[in-house]
Amino acid sequence: MNLSKGANLSIILFFVGVVLIYGREFLIPFVLSVFIWFIIREIKKVLRRSKYFRLYLPNWLENLIASLFFFGAIVFFVQVLTSNIESLSSNFPAYQANISKIADKVNVLFNIDIVKQLNELSGGLRFTDILGSVFNIVSSLLGNIFIILIYILFLFLEEFGFQNKLVAMMGHSNEKGRVFSILHRVDVSIGRYLALKTLVSLLTGILSFAVLKFIGVDGAAFWAFLIFIMNFIPTIGSLIATIFPTIFALLQFGEFAPAIWVLVIVSGIQFLVGNLIEPKLMGDSMNLSSLVVILALSLWGALWGITGMVLSVPITVVMLIVFSEIPSTRPLAMLLSEKGQID
């Protein structure tokens, strides 16, 4: 019997893996739309704290206002990013000229051909290639915005009748309470995580923007936006978000001092927000093991790239909640949890 269950589980896991890999072009925009839908609902909850919104506006109008607020912010950021990317592109020849200047200084100080060594270590990968990849990722996300809008619209339309459908499907089943419990916990946990993570990442991005602007780094808004996005990636996101503007400051100025200032101050912001402010806001509400976070980051990153890394924690939280409500998978939920406690 156990062998049969193991074989069935292996087949299911294999099938899920195939769907996740080969269905990524469909699944990534849909999953992104689901999490954006969660963020918009959190915005709506903030609006509802106002007596005017709570007393006078119907639910559909609240959804519309919250959506306009969210996508208005997106349009603003896109316009700022576009102007920053154009500025970076126009100044690129000057940045390339500084590479030789920096290499000569390193050669004098350490007697090392830094360009040759970096080319050997990276297999010929250049910073321009990395920067191009970053631009492509941002462009790809923006390119899916139309289909994401369609998904969000239908999610809101489905929201009104979904609970009634569940009640009709479950009838008088004893499982009805458990199903609604799972949905409620997913709603609260994911909504809270996305709202607080967005707030924390926005704070980090704004502070970093102020620092980069003060130092005089070109495209400060672009690098601040990159820091904002990368902060959604657990553990390694803050590291990557610090390295990119530091390297760019080195290329722009051709001097070590501005790059060191960027490294020290942006790292300090990451440490302050990530280790002092974020834990106080988040608490242990995610209840995920640190090892599980790293493994989830690696798994979803391998499956869905940068998008998978950003979504790795919310997806894993959903898995923990669902596993904890099913008796046969409760041991898995305990393994995923921080201290083995899932109630």
Q: What is the pLDDT of residues 147-182, one digit of tens each?
A: 888 888 888 887 777 777 766 776 666 666 777 777
Per-residue exposure over 303-340, b if at least 16 CB sit within 10 Å of its own CB, e if not: bbebbbbbbbbbbbbebbbbbbbeeeeeebbbebbbee
Residues of the chain with pLDDT under 50: 1, 118-125
CA angle 240, 244, 245 (to 5 degrees): 125
Domain assignments of the chain as residue spans, ordered by start? 12-285
Convert 210-269 into a string of H (helix), E (strand) and C (coil): HHHHHHCCCCHHHHHHHHHHHCCCCCHHHHHHHHHHHHHHHHHHCCHHHHHHHHHHHHHH
Q: Would residue 261 be called left, alpha or beta, if left means φ above 0 and alpha means ψ between -120 and 50 degrees?
A: alpha
Instruction: Tell me the pTM.
Output: 0.75
Quote the pLDDT of residue 175.
67
Quote the pLDDT of residue 292.
83
Quote the pLDDT of residue 209.
92
Q: What is the pLDDT of residues 99-144, one digit of tens each?
A: 666 766 666 666 655 555 544 444 444 555 555 555 666 666 666 7
Quote the pLDDT of residue 86.
73
